């Protein structure tokens, strides 16, 4: 069997996956992943994500993005990401066994990532054509091969993936503790960029920010997911959501290319343009995003030794 081929700058995934607009999908992706019974159980029983939400989010962007953007080194990055999940296994409170490396579970998590370019453009940009969506899906399968996981649960094409997605939303995903915990950001701490903001001001700002972000996320769900989670969504909500999305899409046109991308993606674009050597060290998360000292040796954490 031939070696998997990493994605390159000619792909739609390169164009959109490392786009900062993807942060608007953070709650959506986390909650959709956690609604999978096995994934939700693993988060509930093993994850300390809720102790350091911002740090975990921002440092995760580096290796996950690296599987898309690291070029010849992407397969190595993918195997590192896969290894973080080796020990996440057990039996949930309903007596169901789970393992993060169960092929069905692992592919579901990947599925939420591979559709992000489609959702970003649907809600905050120019919607992709069906042909472009099919291309994004094919690139997602190509990217998934880098993990070395079983391809058994992977639908062969975009139409079959759409049927898979509908089946998962209707028949498999569930309302559980991990999903609700991800969606509850009412007490979230300050993001790193606002570290100097006085605590009383953050507590005031946090209320409209958390409510607004949750509302934005509800608007991204498929209707069947909103119904499953018991969220009300009106025609007025939909109109406002669409207007905000169009406003962001308009403003985004004026953002310089370099500023649109996460550092790992930005470095990849620089490498392919010849602005930095092709073998330049990969950009790693800064020290402010690292796990607490007592967890940096835990193989479940991405904790690069030379973060600066």
Residue-wise pLDDT tens digits, 54-68: 888 899 999 999 999
- Structure confidence at residue 299 as a pLDDT band (50, 70, 90): low
Q: Is the pLDDT of residue 5 over 50?
A: yes
Q: What is the pLDDT of residue 214?
A: 97
46 vs 264 pLDDT, higher one: 264
CB 84 within 8 A of CB 301: yes
- Structure confidence at residue 142 as a pLDDT band (50, 70, 90): very high
Quick one: which of 132, 36, 68 has its CA closest to 282? 68
Q: What is the pLDDT of residue 49?
A: 60
Average pLDDT, integer, range 19-32 = 96
Average pLDDT, integer, range 45-62 = 81
CB 17 within 8 A of CB 68: yes
CB 17 within 8 A of CB 117: yes
Average pLDDT, integer, range 97-115 = 95
Average pLDDT, integer, range 105-125 = 97
Q: What percent of the chain is predicted at pLDDT more than 90?
A: 77
Q: Is the pLDDT of residue 17 over 50?
A: yes
The DSSP bridge pattern shows strands 97-99 and 89-91 to be: antiparallel
Q: C-alpha angle 285/209/292, rounded to 5°?
A: 30
- Structure confidence at residue 53 as a pLDDT band (50, 70, 90): confident
Average pLDDT, integer, range 169-194 = 92
Q: Is the pLDDT of residue 31 over 80?
A: yes
- Structure confidence at residue 48 as a pLDDT band (50, 70, 90): low
Tokens of 146: 């880098």
Q: Is the pLDDT of residue 291 over 90?
A: no
Q: Average per-residue pLDDT in the chain?
A: 93
- What's the rounded Cα separation, in Å, for the pair 128 and 120? 10
Q: Give the pTM.
A: 0.93
């Amino acid at each position: 069997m031939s070696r998997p081929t990493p994605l390159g700058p000619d792909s739609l995934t390169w164009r959109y996956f490392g786009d900062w607009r993807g942060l608007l999908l953070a709650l959506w992706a986390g909650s959709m992943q956690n609604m999978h019974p096995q994934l939700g159980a693993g988060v509930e029983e093993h994850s300390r994500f809720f102790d350091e939400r911002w740090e975990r989010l921002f440092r995760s962007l580096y290796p996950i993005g690296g599987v898309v953007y690291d070029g010849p080194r992407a397969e190595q990055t993918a195997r590192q990401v896969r290894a973080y999940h080796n020990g996440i296994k057990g039996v949930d409170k309903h007596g169901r066994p789970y393992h993060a490396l169960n092929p069905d579970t692992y592919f579901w998590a990947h599925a939420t990532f591979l559709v992000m370019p489609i959702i970003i453009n649907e809600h905050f940009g120019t919607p992709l054509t069906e042909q472009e969506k099919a291309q994004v899906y094919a690139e997602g399968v190509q990217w998934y091969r880098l993990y070395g996981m079983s391809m058994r649960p992977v639908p062969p094409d975009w139409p079959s993936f759409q049927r898979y997605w509908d089946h998962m939303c209707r028949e498999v995903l569930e309302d559980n503790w991990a999903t609700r915990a991800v969606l509850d950001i009412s007490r979230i701490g300050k993001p790193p960029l606002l570290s100097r903001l006085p605590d009383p001001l953050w507590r005031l700002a946090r209320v409209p920010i958390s409510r607004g972000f949750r509302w934005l996320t509800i608007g991204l769900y498929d209707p069947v997911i909103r119904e499953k989670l018991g969220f009300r969504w009106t025609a007025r909500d939909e109109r406002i959501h669409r207007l905000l999305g169009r406003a962001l899409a308009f403003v985004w046109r004026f953002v310089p290319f370099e500023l649109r991308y996460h550092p790992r993606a930005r470095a990849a674009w620089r490498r392919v343009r010849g602005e930095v050597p092709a073998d330049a060290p990969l950009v790693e998360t800064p020290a402010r995003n690292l796990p607490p000292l007592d967890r940096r040796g835990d193989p479940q954490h991405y904790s690069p030794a030379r973060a600066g």
